[in-house]
Amino acid sequence: MFLSALLIITVILILLYLLKIYYWSGGSFKSDQRLDGKYVIITGANTGIGKATATDLVQRGIICGYYKDRTDKKCFLIGLGAHVILACRDRQRAQTAADDIRNKTGSQNVEIEIVDTSSLESVKSFAIRIRKKLKHLDILINNAVAHMEIQFDDINLEKRYTPLIGYAHSKLANILFTRELAKRLQGTNITANSLHPGVIVTELLRYNEQRIPPFLYPLYSLLKPLAWFFTKNADQGSQTTIRLAVDKKLDGVTGKYFSDCVEVATSSQASDDQAAKRLWEVSEKMTRLKEAENELESKI
């Protein structure tokens, strides 16, 4: 009986491992496309997929190879690579991430800017500094899909809120907002797309452990190891972001939604052009966008 149970468990674990490698890990993007001289801003880049993406883009001016005896790998900086700005809330953690990226890639083209994206004043201050610092910006990556309707009568979820509803509401808003932004940028050479990175083991999930009721924590601790089989690591989760930032084949592609490195269809709620337009208009009023634009121009 014991041997039979052990055999069954072994077979299940092998199957889960194969699913992990060939399915749950998602697609990957392989390209030697260089980003010499490109300026990139990545929000939330001090950890997780933001940091993994930054590391990849910075080293796209670096070539690696082995010595003749193939015992040691050596990397050489042959171009500038991308100049990446890590836009983060915590200065110490951002600086640590920047140092890690410099040490790993050998490139010094990494800097930090402090911004709290939950504060409009902080975002405006950040925008003013960037406009003064950069003559142009090539790539903007916002790290901050769900299937639910936007609650326009309770846009801030003041009447009905749970972490899951809040997460779903914000992610749907991201997709709709990007859809409308792409329309408003038609006729320019600027594209805007959204993506689903997959289920990733990052600090975001670790923070959510604090929300687990104490009486459920023993069960959570028991099941937690199994989560490894169904999740991606940060490098795997960054692949779709990297493809959208780098792949020349996607030049001109805008207003689309990607998952596992390919374009996929969205839900009917996320394809609602009327909702996207309304969300944009509501957001304009809530953020006083016109006033912010005028203030920005007056300070540059």
Helical H segments across the chain, by residue range = 2-19, 48-58, 91-105, 120-133, 163-184, 203-208, 217-223, 234-237, 239-246, 273-287, 289-298
Q: What is the pLDDT of residue 196?
A: 92
pLDDT the model gives residue 66? 47
Query: Looking at residue 145, what is its pLDDT?
Result: 44
Start-to-end Cα distance in the chain: 76
Query: Which phi and psi (to 5°) does residue 106 adopt?
Result: 80, 0
Q: What is the pLDDT along the chain (300 residues), one digit of tens a residue?
A: 777 777 787 888 888 888 788 777 888 898 888 898 899 999 999 999 999 999 999 988 655 544 444 455 555 554 568 999 999 999 999 999 999 999 998 889 999 999 998 888 999 999 999 999 999 999 999 985 454 567 777 777 777 777 667 777 888 889 999 999 999 999 999 999 999 998 887 655 555 666 677 777 777 777 777 778 888 989 999 999 999 999 999 999 999 999 999 999 998 989 999 999 999 999 899 888 888 888 877 877
The domain limits of the chain are 32-144, 150-197+232-288
- The whole-model pTM stands at 0.83
Integer Cα distance of 297 and 23 in angstroms: 48
pLDDT recorded at residue 293: 82
DSSP letter, residue 265: P
Cα–Cα distance, 145 to 102 (Å, whole number): 33
Give CA–CA dist 102/86, Å, rounded. 12
- How far is residue 49's CA from residue 201's CA, in Å, rounded to a whole number? 10
- Parallel/antiparallel/unpaired status of strands 194-196 and 257-259: parallel
Q: Tell me which residues are annotated as active site.
A: 167
Q: How far is it, in rounded angstroms, from Cα 248 to Cα 234?
A: 23
Say whether domain 32-144 belongs to CATH 3.40.50.720: yes
How many helices (H) and strands (E) in the chain?
11, 9
> b vs e for 99-113, b when ≥16 Cβ sit within 10 Å of the residue's Cβ?
eebeeebebebbebb
Asked if residue 53 lies in contact with residue 37, where contact means CB atoms within 8 angstroms, the answer is: no
pLDDT at 79: 54
Give CA–CA dist 199/221, Å, rounded: 18
Angle between helices 48-58 and 91-105 (to 10 degrees): 40
Q: How far is CA 44 from the centre of its chain?
A: 8
Q: Both tokens of residue 92?
A: 């110490």
